[in-house]
Chain A
Amino acid sequence: MKPVFMTYTKKDLINLAVCMVLSVLVIPTFITTEYWYTSILIPWLCLALATIGQQIVMGYTGQLALGAAGFMAAGAFAMFNLILRVPDLGFVGSLIVSGLIAAAFGILFGLPSLKVRGIYLMVATLASQFFIIWMIDKFGWFKNYDSSGIITAQDIVILGKPFTTPLAMYFVCLAVTTVLTLLAMNMARGSTGRNWMAVRDMDIAAESMGVSLLRTKVQAFAISAFYCGVAGALFAFCYLKSLEPVAFDIKLSFKILFMCILGGLGTINGAFIGAAFILLFPVLLNAIGNNVFHGAIDATIISSIEQVIFGGLMIIFMIYEPLGMAKLWENLKISIKSKLSSAGTKSLKSSAQKSE
């Protein structure tokens, strides 16, 4: 398709417009219960952002990493300390700087990717997960010497205006997510993304064609960690409203990995689909447990079933559709389109026959 505006096609612009109208106008008018904002929409946006980070390093660059939650923790605690100690930076400035701090960790722990890949790299990135959480836990300075273990996050203030209601926080998350998503799409389509994908598909071949592995991999890790860091800061300040290292444990890393893989490796919309699925499915399962069985099933059993289903889905997707839900969505669109167009040609034909 021919690009209309910069490198965007008409379809892209329509998609963007539809998403913006939906999220800015439709959702705030029709959804008025706080529950939807505080428990679903805000964590969805935050986790989708982290999943985009995971996508960049795993889906686009093909490096098996498992430390997203560690970088999120780095971002969240950096944010806390920046607002506390450097109040002049403001919210947006702190958000960017905390992303950059997470990116520094990303570069540090991404370095082994130059030597190893696959499961080896996974172990190396696990080091980042455990090390960052330990560091925050053990050095009191990061937590401002708070002994309770759980610190309340500061209120969000942008240009002197407080953003404390769920709706306002939703808009903060939405704005950040939109900007970063657009950026990610741009990078994925441009030469940066081409380099990532060349490295993913065959790193040795890419290197012999003049793609610098050092640059590409370190860049991917840094950008990925930046996204995770910003997502972690938003996650702590808008969703949890508190900071505790336990919230960013290895389980969250696995969750983000699942969002990334089930959503569809190497796609940006897959990050949103995957995050929505992993977040909403437990809600649905609990609703079924409460309404159909009237609480006869124990909550622990429900969460076990949820785990079995996630694991099972992972296996099924790996066998039948390794490209995940984004690909299913794509297939669905294509089949609907082809049905519509074949129906269209049929009706044309029948009307042509009638006129004869």
Chain B
Amino acid sequence: MVDELLFFMEVLVGGLLAGTMYSLVALGFVLIFKASATFNFSQGAMVFFSVLAFCGFMQDFNIPFVLAFILAALLMVVVGLCTERLVLRPLMNASEDTVLMATIGLGYVLEGLAQAAWGVEVRRLDLGIGDFPVPWIADNLKLFISALDITAGLVAALMIIGLFLLFKYTKIGLGLRAVADDAGAASSIGIPLKHIMLLVWSAAGVVALVAGCMWGARAGVQFALVDLALKALPVLIIGGFSSIPGAIIGGLIIGAVEKVLEVYIGPFFGGAIEGWAPYVLAIFFLLYRPEGLFGEKIIRRV
């Protein structure tokens, strides 16, 4: 009995920590949605693009780790700048769905560019953090938890706190919230829309890079990262599109539920239900609480 409970705890904790990885990707979505009410479908492609650039800098040019990270982050700022100038500004007055489709196009462009520049083969990314159980925890609590999972959890927590403080207590954060509420009104009282957008897209780019590093260290830097990032969508639906804590809670729920289902129910169906379970869970949430756990209520006018 104790062993079963321990095993359940292990599955649950593993799932929760893996969920923080989804949360990291979802954070980037939330940032942009919060500041511009735009759904950025290319976030997954940004994850792939940024981490492949990071690997490329490190492995092809032998640039040291820290410098390569800074370079990759700068590259994401450039991507944000180009996106703002070439995609978002011309589409300022377009409908939500049009912007969404444009960001699908943007995702394709980023994926293509990344593969053209740095090749299609799977790259290994070594962060110096092993993806194996931490001996101390394994000895004392009898739980096998990977060091990488714990790091991802810590990084996610740090980022949340940082972003939360940014949104809540700085002038920039106030500007961001104002723009999200009503871009026209915000710009009429002198909030520089251009700078705000650039800032948000750059921040989302850096978040993507961090998420990419975590995923890349686990699964290798490869195209499959884009599909993994799609799982951030159910996370967002459960947590709510405009809530940073929601992204975290959503990620935890998805991570835990998919692992527990996979371990306990999966074997009856031949396994691999991880692939669709999060989406079906999202559908149930949609039917009962379309705005997500922490999202603002969606009100539409005729």
Docked-complex contact A315 and B102, CB < 8 angstroms:
yes
Docked-complex contact A126 and B279, CB < 8 angstroms:
yes
A64: which B residues are within 8 A, CB to CB?
Answer: 97, 100
Docked-complex contact B98 and A318, CB < 8 angstroms:
yes
Also in contact, A311 and B100, with CB within 8 A (given A124-B279, A134-B273, A304-B115): no
A134: which B residues are within 8 A, CB to CB?
Answer: 272-273, 275-276
Among A80-88, A114-122, A232-240, the stretch in contact with B: A114-122
Q: A163 at interface (Cβ–Cβ under 8 A)? A: no
Among B14-22, B106-114, B159-167, the stretch in contact with A: B106-114
Q: B141 at interface (Cβ–Cβ under 8 A)? A: no
Report B76-102 residues with CB < 8 Å from chain A CB: 86-87, 90-91, 94, 96-102
Instruction: Give, as a whole number of angstroms, the nearest-CB distance from A323 to chain B.
Output: 11
Q: B66 at interface (Cβ–Cβ under 8 A)? A: no
B286: which A residues are within 8 A, CB to CB?
Answer: 112, 115-116, 120, 123-124
Docked-complex contact B290 and A115, CB < 8 angstroms:
yes
Chain A count of residues within 8 A CB distance of the other chain = 45
- A297 CA / B261 CA spacing, docked (Å): 46
Docked-complex contact B119 and A300, CB < 8 angstroms:
yes
Among B2-10, B150-158, B227-235, the stretch in contact with A: B227-235
A308: which B residues are within 8 A, CB to CB?
Answer: 108-109, 112-113, 116
Binary B-proximity of A120-147 (CB < 8 A = 1, otherwise 0) = 1011101100110010011100000000
- A206 CA / B118 CA spacing, docked (Å): 50
B272: which A residues are within 8 A, CB to CB?
Answer: 134, 137-138
- A280 CA / B275 CA spacing, docked (Å): 32
Docked-complex contact A138 and B269, CB < 8 angstroms:
yes
A139: which B residues are within 8 A, CB to CB?
Answer: 270
Also in contact, A130 and B275, with CB within 8 A (given A304-B112, A315-B102): yes
Docked-complex contact B276 and A130, CB < 8 angstroms:
yes
Report A286-322 residues with CB < 8 Å from chain B CB: 300-301, 303-315, 318-319, 322
The one of A123, A307, A315 that contacts B237, using a Cβ cutoff of 8 Å: A123
The B interface is mostly helix, strand or loop, or mixed, namely helix
B279: which A residues are within 8 A, CB to CB?
Answer: 123-124, 126-127, 130-131
Instruction: Give, as a whole number of angstroms, the nearest-CB distance from B245 to chain A.
Output: 20
B270: which A residues are within 8 A, CB to CB?
Answer: 138-139
Q: A250 at interface (Cβ–Cβ under 8 A)? A: yes
A208: which B residues are within 8 A, CB to CB?
Answer: 302
Report B26-70 residues with CB < 8 Å from chain A CB: 39, 41
Q: Kindly report which residue of chain B lies nearest to residue A131, judged by CB atoms.
A: B276
A116: which B residues are within 8 A, CB to CB?
Answer: 286, 290
Q: Kindly report which residue of chain A lies nearest to residue B113, judged by CB atoms.
A: A308
The one of A126, A205, A309 that contacts B230, using a Cβ cutoff of 8 Å: A126
Binary A-proximity of B251-275 (CB < 8 A = 1, otherwise 0) = 0000000000000000001111101
A205: which B residues are within 8 A, CB to CB?
Answer: 302
Q: B283 at interface (Cβ–Cβ under 8 A)? A: yes
Q: B280 at interface (Cβ–Cβ under 8 A)? A: yes
Report B88-147 residues with CB < 8 Å from chain A CB: 90-91, 94, 96-102, 104-113, 115-116, 119-120
Point out which of B86, B105, B110 has the most chain A C-beta atoms below 10 A from its C-beta. Answer: B105
The one of B41, B94, B107, B302 that contacts A204, using a Cβ cutoff of 8 Å: B302
Q: B300 at interface (Cβ–Cβ under 8 A)? A: yes
B208: which A residues are within 8 A, CB to CB?
Answer: none
Q: B24 at interface (Cβ–Cβ under 8 A)? A: no
- A315 CA / B233 CA spacing, docked (Å): 22
- A69 CA / B300 CA spacing, docked (Å): 31
A305: which B residues are within 8 A, CB to CB?
Answer: 112, 116
A310: which B residues are within 8 A, CB to CB?
Answer: 105, 108, 112
The one of A119, A130, A301, A314 that contacts B105, using a Cβ cutoff of 8 Å: A314
- A112 CA / B280 CA spacing, docked (Å): 11
Q: A261 at interface (Cβ–Cβ under 8 A)? A: yes
Q: Kindly report which residue of chain A lies nearest to residue B234, judged by CB atoms.
A: A123
Also in contact, A120 and B96, with CB within 8 A (given A300-B115, A311-B109): no
Docked-complex contact B287 and A115, CB < 8 angstroms:
yes
Instruction: Give, as a whole number of angstroms, the nearest-CB distance from A349 to chain B.
Output: 42
A115: which B residues are within 8 A, CB to CB?
Answer: 286-287, 290
Docked-complex contact A313 and B105, CB < 8 angstroms:
yes
Docked-complex contact A311 and B300, CB < 8 angstroms:
no
Docked-complex contact A118 and B287, CB < 8 angstroms:
no
Report A151-182 residues with CB < 8 Å from chain B CB: none
Docked-complex contact B113 and A123, CB < 8 angstroms:
no
Instruction: Give, as a whole number of angstroms, the nearest-CB distance from A17 to chain B.
Output: 35
Instruction: Give, as a whole number of angstroms, the nearest-CB distance from A1 to chain B.
Output: 31
Report A196-236 residues with CB < 8 Å from chain B CB: 202, 204-205, 208
Also in contact, A318 and B102, with CB within 8 A (given A126-B230, A204-B302): yes
Docked-complex contact A301 and B101, CB < 8 angstroms:
no
Docked-complex contact A306 and B101, CB < 8 angstroms:
no
Also in contact, A204 and B102, with CB within 8 A (given A115-B290, A120-B286): no
Instruction: Give, as a whole number of angstroms, the nearest-CB distance from B222 to chain A.
Output: 13
16 residue pairs from A and B, CB less than 8 Å apart: A62-B97, A119-B41, A123-B237, A123-B282, A130-B276, A130-B279, A134-B275, A250-B230, A257-B104, A307-B109, A308-B108, A308-B109, A309-B112, A311-B110, A312-B105, A315-B106
Q: Which residues of A contact B (CB under 8 A)?
A: 62, 64, 112, 115-116, 118-120, 122-124, 126-127, 130-131, 134, 137-139, 202, 204-205, 208, 250, 254, 257, 261, 300-301, 303-315, 318-319, 322
Q: Which residues of B contact A (CB under 8 A)?
A: 39, 41, 86-87, 90-91, 94, 96-102, 104-113, 115-116, 119-120, 227, 230, 233-234, 237, 241, 269-273, 275-276, 279-280, 282-283, 286-287, 290, 300, 302
